[in-house]
Structure 1
Amino acid sequence: MLMLDWNHKLQADGVKVWAVGPGMCATNLGGLGPELAYKMGCEHPSRGGLIIRSVIEGERDEDVGKIVGRDGVIDW
């Protein structure tokens, strides 16, 4: 909801707002540790970084105001 609010308020100023859902990444967040996270099917954190990079580099401009994920826009 915050992303939608910011998108609405900042659109007139030319500011683009997205939310990014990188999916399950093997990090230390959550206390599992990367090794166990990989065993559970999580992906390398760089996969999430690629999504963020695609937004920054303008590849996802058509998805402004939406949640961007690995496989496209995430319905919410």
Structure 2
Amino acid sequence: MGLIDTITETLQASSSSTNRGDERGESKGAYWCHDCEERRLDLDVEGDEPPACPACGEAMTFERSPGSTGCAC
């Protein structure tokens, strides 16, 4: 049964999970500056207002991932 246990463990480890181990909670998306290709995870932003891009200073756009992976990339 060692081989079957190994295969089972491998498949469980490679399955997609929305829990990425972030102690801050689950991300809902990320803020993007498409001109500068800058990205900030929503968990890294304080408040309800979109953050300014650190490169150009323009307001960043919030985007959600259409998938169920919990990642906005």
TM band (smaller chain): under 0.3
Q: Looking at secondary structure, tell me which structure has more helix per residue.
A: 1
Larger radius of gyration: 2
TM-score by length of 1: 0.27
